[in-house]
Amino acid sequence: MTNGRASAALAPAGVVHAHLRRSVHAAQVGDDIVLLDVAGDRYLCLPAAGGQARLEAGGRTLILCPQLARTLPASLQAPALEATPAPPGRPVCDLPDSAALEPSAADWRRLALCYADYWRLFAGRSFAAILAGVRRAARPAGRRGAAEAAAVFARLVVWAPVSGQCLVRSFLLMRFILRSGADAEWVFGVRTWPFGAHCWVQAEGVVLDDHAERLAGYVPILAV
């Protein structure tokens, strides 16, 4: 994904409401406002805008001073509020140690199906298409919790012939969890100074493919 920065000349003037499109998500990181434009496959930042902007309605509405509002591209704005769920809070704990879990033959088949999902729903797709496809019907076989599925996946993923980047790994884990008959959230977070974006999978406050301590530096901006 590409990164962008919108400079802001802040002034203590009146305020305006900027409703964001459904594909645009916002988070406040310290004194900065970060926008994730899913359709445009980019992040934008309003640096030091926290004192002149406010997020409402789960990040769907920005309350801005007029000068700051003029820096916001019109392509990101909607004529009215387009409600979407707010992102979840950060996870509070790590996946428990489940070293005793041994993958079954069905788990190996499930991993193969997830690898096929990667080529069918991820490789060569836009960011928007990946997000839209991650929950496509998975025909779950069996029934287990998200934490157990993630523990088994961690034993198997080292054999998957794909990149270890967080976007790929989290996509595969989401598909494995769904194919196991469980559910989770694919969460995207941001930080600033320096800017960074990261994603992970969590369920009921438990991070399933990372460490809660490491994620404390990221503010969730989107969950699917």
The answer as to whether 39 is a domain residue is yes
CA 15, 16, 17, 23 dihedral sign is negative
Q: What does the pLDDT read at residue 207?
A: 96
Same domain, 43 and 100: no
Question: Is 150 in contact with 201 (CB distance < 8 Å)?
Answer: yes
Tens of pLDDT, residue by residue over 23-57, are 999 898 988 999 999 999 999 988 888 777 778 77
Q: Which residues of the chain have pLDDT under 70?
A: 1-15, 98-100, 139-143
169 φ, ψ (degrees, to nearest 5):
-60, -45
User: What are the helix and strand counts (H, E) for the chain?
Assistant: 6, 13
Q: Give the span between the Cα atoms of 183 and 167, in whole angstroms.
A: 18
Same domain, 69 and 169: no
Question: What is the number of structural domains in the chain?
Answer: 2
Q: Which domain holds residue 49?
A: 2-78
Which of 53, 78, 103 is the C-terminal boundary of a domain?
Answer: 78
Same domain, 195 and 99: yes
Tokens 């287990």 belong to residue:
144
Q: Residue 55's domain is classified under what CATH number?
A: 3.90.930
Q: Give the span between the Cα atoms of 208 and 174, in whole angstroms.
A: 10
Q: What does the pLDDT read at residue 119?
A: 94
The answer as to whether 43 is a domain residue is yes
Q: What does the pLDDT read at residue 125?
A: 95
Q: What does the pLDDT read at residue 169?
A: 93
CA 31, 190, 20, 92 dihedral sign is negative
Same domain, 101 and 204: yes
The answer as to whether 88 is a domain residue is no
Tens of pLDDT, residue by residue over 54-75, are 787 777 777 777 777 777 888 8
Same domain, 45 and 121: no
Same domain, 73 and 176: no
Same domain, 67 and 107: no
Q: What does the pLDDT read at residue 41?
A: 94
Q: What does the pLDDT read at residue 99?
A: 60
Record the tokens describing residue 131, joined without a space: 């997000």
Q: Give the span between the Cα atoms of 118 and 46, in whole angstroms.
A: 34
Same domain, 181 and 132: yes
Q: What does the pLDDT read at residue 134?
A: 96
The answer as to whether 83 is a domain residue is no
- Enter the pTM of the model: 0.87
What single DSSP character describes residue 152? Answer: H
